[in-house]
A and B are shown apart, each in its own frame.
Chain A
Amino acid sequence: MAAAKHKRARPKRTAEPRANGAIDVSRTRRVPDLAKDTRVVAVTGTASFLGQNLLRLLEEDASIDRVVAVDVKAPETVHPKTRFYEVDLTQPSEARLAEIFAAERVSTLAHLAFHASPSHATAYAHELESVGTMHVLVAARQTRVRKIVMASSTLLYGAHPSNPNFLGEHQPLRATKREPFFADKIEAEAEVGRFVERSEGAIATVLRVAPLLGPTASSFVTRYLSGRFVVTMMGFDPLVQFVHELDAIAALKLAIDRDVPGTFNVVGDGVLPLSKVIELAGRTALPIPHPIAEPLVALGWIGQVAPAPPTLLPYLRFLCVADGARARDVMGFRAAFTTREALDDFVQAQKLRETKLLQESAFP
């Protein structure tokens, strides 16, 4: 993994004996004055795609003493350094989270409890993403967590004909608030802003990640590109941008390892016209005039046929491409895969899946 070489140099401390469930032993042996030396990373939303993969990466990193996993669902594989806590963020969970963070002496928190795709259960999504973030951050402030790393999305900039071709981090988030998928995430980002304002000495890194593509990631984007026919807007061919799943995970790890406060776009290099994307994916474009597309897609969304609600149709007409220069210059992140390579990787795996050579269950 590219991020592995950015491990923080730290005083050598022999790792705790990990075998035969020594986790509890290590916990009792820790005394408060050593707390500064232990590196404990908490991850919320460990059942999400990013959460699962980040967990594995943190487990491999010898400089991290303990990983605290928070989700409603236990991780599918058991990791020796990881301790799992079942917490439902949609419930008033501040007190319980604060208890966990204090007991584990969490210094860094990666908040990844977000939906990758628009959900039909918008009320639940709101409780999880917007209110859940508030719960998590209240607990983090109370227990003086030093650093928050949050995954967000470049889609929040919104697709507009007036966008510059490469959106910088300073641009306002103009995605339509009518869509709860965006509104909740914009509110979550605002919560992080308030967290930084109110808590002294704490830093926050928000990673706005471009749509993920790769062999295992799945979202409304991969579903959109998986159908035989792919709906496009007649006469529009916007430039689109992806990031490879490995790059996104590497960026998260990098943000955990380095102290880089601020907001960063995590994107693959290069852009592709949507028509070329569909061609490379081996699909057939189905152009629909945009005035009639909205009611059609709305019907499809209600009937659970369309992969996304009609509020995402502007992304098939206008630009929403982010500029990754700041992540490169300030954070030192470089995507190993270009937009095209990320797409290729997805397409290859998709071919195997379609020929039944690759079972979905082979990848958690």
Chain B
Amino acid sequence: MKSKRKKKPVAEEIRALEEKLDAIIEKHAAPPPEPNPIESRALAPSEPPPALPSLPLRRREEREPTDDFGYDPAYDARARPLFDFLYARYFRVECRGVGHVPNEGRCMLVANHSGTIPFDGPMIKAALAREHPGKRDVRWLAEDFVFHFPFLGSFETRIGAVRACQENAERLLRQETLLAVFPEGTKGIGKLFKDRYKLQRFGRGGFVRLALRTQTPIVPVAIVGGEETNPMLLRLESFAKPLGIPYVPVTPTFPLLGPLGLLPVPTKWKMTFGEPIGVGEHGPESENDELLVARIAERVRGAIQEMLDAALRERKSVLFG
């Protein structure tokens, strides 16, 4: 009940923001900035050739089917109904504070990682696409082992996942991307049911160093519900090594019912976006300040844990919220 009362003003706020945004878009009907002069030339053939002298060599007219990281917009559009269904009907995601995510520019979403099979990346993507006034596109970082698997790896790549490593993340942020990261990593998705919503170690603070280096604000995100979709009772690690995966999960249904047992439980999800944590007061060179990195990492971790605890206290039922 409580949550429903809270939902209304948010919805109204979003509607108001949307109207404002529509007005702005109508007023400045300017085309979006095109960093690549070649592409703009292809769009407007009557315009004079671009200023860069070394570029008219190019004759690219067609857009590539995918971007540099393998995101395939056409494929994503086809997969969208599935994630919309998961978002709206299956997990019934309730999204709060999405306005904390800036409308443009680079930004890092830092969230708790959840579920034996992580749905949180696609759900954050769906949340931003549906609820955010700027309809922002999100890329998220996925663990290495995802890319070991047939189908799973290429599927995730096409819908927007990128392998988690500093080089990739930095390149994405420098392209002003909205990037979701899960610093808990494999330890996060490998959490046993009894440890749910207890944030694990945040790696070695790599995400903070990245934020400092690229001067990216951090928005903490707490996801409640995701950690109960595949309640893991046991983690078998010895069998897993030859398969190239970190562990074999044992859930009440998994090896028992075969692949069917991996279907997620339709839990009720709550996604909370917290206040942005800026790193602007520290320069890019402070990434080597280990103490500062640890302090910021702890601050982000604390913010997420606090939001998790608050949402958990409020929650009455795992399945119905």
Nearest B residue to A238 via CB reads: B154
Q: Is the CB of A166 within 8 A of B171?
A: yes
Nearest A residue to B151 via CB reads: A235
Q: Is the CB of A271 within 8 A of B147?
A: no
Q: List 19 A-B contacts (CB under 8 A).
A: A2-B57, A161-B145, A161-B244, A164-B166, A164-B167, A165-B162, A165-B163, A166-B167, A166-B168, A234-B150, A237-B158, A239-B69, A272-B65, A273-B70, A289-B150, A290-B150, A319-B147, A319-B163, A340-B64
Chain B, 6-50, contact with A by CB distance < 8 Å: what is the 0/1 string? Answer: 000000000000000000000000000000000000000000000
A270 within 8 A of B: yes
A220 within 8 A of B: no
B309 within 8 A of A: no
Residues of A within 8 A of B (CB): 2, 161-166, 168, 233-239, 270-273, 276, 289-290, 318-319, 334, 336, 338, 340-341
Q: Which residues of A contact B165 (CB under 8 A)?
A: 162, 164
B68 within 8 A of A: yes
Q: Is the CB of B163 within 8 A of A271?
A: no
Q: Which of A161, A235, A238, A276 contacts B65 (CB 8 A)?
A: A276
Nearest B residue to A325 via CB reads: B171
Q: Is the CB of B149 within 8 A of A336?
A: no
Complex CA–CA separation, A235 to B146 (angstroms)? 12
Q: Which residues of B contact A334 (CB under 8 A)?
A: 54, 57
Beyond known contacts A161-B145, A164-B167, A273-B154: 4 more, CB 8 A cutoff: A161-B163, A271-B64, A336-B58, A338-B60
Nearest B residue to A162 via CB reads: B144
Q: Which residues of B contact A271 (CB under 8 A)?
A: 64, 66, 68, 70
Q: Is the CB of B150 within 8 A of A336?
A: no
Q: Which residues of A contact B57 (CB under 8 A)?
A: 2, 334, 336
Q: Which of B60, B68, B167 contacts A340 (CB 8 A)?
A: B60
Q: Is the CB of B66 within 8 A of A239?
A: yes
Q: Is the CB of A270 within 8 A of B68?
A: yes
Q: Which residues of B contact A166 (CB under 8 A)?
A: 68, 167-168, 171
Provided the pairs A164-B163, A272-B65 are in contact, do residues A239 and B70 lie with their beta carbons within 8 angstroms? yes
B2 within 8 A of A: no
Distance (whole angstroms) from the CB of A136 to the closest CB of chain B: 34
B153 within 8 A of A: yes
B72 within 8 A of A: yes
B59 within 8 A of A: yes
Q: Which residues of A contact B145 (CB under 8 A)?
A: 161
Distance (whole angstroms) from the CB of B22 to the closest CB of chain A: 34
Distance (whole angstroms) from the CB of B152 to the closest CB of chain A: 8
Residues of B within 8 A of A (CB): 54, 57-60, 62, 64-66, 68-70, 72, 144-145, 147-154, 157-158, 162-163, 165-168, 171, 244
Q: Which residues of B contact A234 (CB under 8 A)?
A: 150
Interface class of chain B by DSSP: loop
Q: Which of B64, B68, B152, B153 contacts A165 (CB 8 A)?
A: B68
Distance (whole angstroms) from the CB of B10 to the closest CB of chain A: 36
Nearest A residue to B244 via CB reads: A161
Provided the pairs A164-B163, A235-B154 are in contact, do residues A338 and B58 lie with their beta carbons within 8 angstroms? yes
Complex CA–CA separation, A165 to B158 (angstroms)? 14
Complex CA–CA separation, A270 to B38 (angstroms)? 13
Q: Which residues of A contact B163 (CB under 8 A)?
A: 161-165, 319
Complex CA–CA separation, A87 to B321 (angstroms)? 80
Q: Is the CB of B59 within 8 A of A341?
A: yes
Q: Which of B64, B147, B153, B162 contacts A272 (CB 8 A)?
A: B64
Complex CA–CA separation, A334 to B158 (angstroms)? 28
Distance (whole angstroms) from the CB of A176 to the closest CB of chain B: 16
Complex CA–CA separation, A165 to B58 (angstroms)? 24
Complex CA–CA separation, A237 to B167 (angstroms)? 21
Q: Is the CB of B147 within 8 A of A161?
A: yes
Complex CA–CA separation, A234 to B151 (angstroms)? 8
Q: Which residues of A contact B70 (CB under 8 A)?
A: 165, 239, 271, 273
Distance (whole angstroms) from the CB of B104 to the closest CB of chain A: 23
Nearest A residue to B144 via CB reads: A162
Complex CA–CA separation, A227 to B94 (angstroms)? 52
Q: Is the CB of A161 within 8 A of B60?
A: no
Q: Which residues of A contact B147 (CB under 8 A)?
A: 161, 318-319
Distance (whole angstroms) from the CB of A114 to the closest CB of chain B: 28
Provided the pairs A235-B151, A272-B65 are in contact, do residues A165 and B59 lie with their beta carbons within 8 angstroms? no
Complex CA–CA separation, A50 to B145 (angstroms)? 38
Q: Is the CB of B168 within 8 A of A165?
A: yes
The 8 closest A-B pairs by CB, nearest first: A235-B150, A164-B167, A161-B147, A235-B151, A237-B154, A336-B57, A162-B144, A164-B165
Q: Which residues of B contact A273 (CB under 8 A)?
A: 65-66, 70, 72, 154, 158
Complex CA–CA separation, A334 to B244 (angstroms)? 38
Distance (whole angstroms) from the CB of B259 to the closest CB of chain A: 15
Nearest B residue to A332 via CB reads: B54
Q: Which residues of B contact A318 (CB under 8 A)?
A: 147
Distance (whole angstroms) from the CB of B28 to the closest CB of chain A: 31
Distance (whole angstroms) from the CB of B73 to the closest CB of chain A: 13
Q: Which residues of B contact A276 (CB under 8 A)?
A: 65-66
Q: Which residues of A contact B58 (CB under 8 A)?
A: 336, 338
Q: Which residues of B contact A290 (CB under 8 A)?
A: 150
Q: Which residues of A contact B157 (CB under 8 A)?
A: 237, 239
Complex CA–CA separation, A270 to B149 (angstroms)? 24
Most buried by A among B60, B70, B145: B70
Nearest A residue to B169 via CB reads: A164
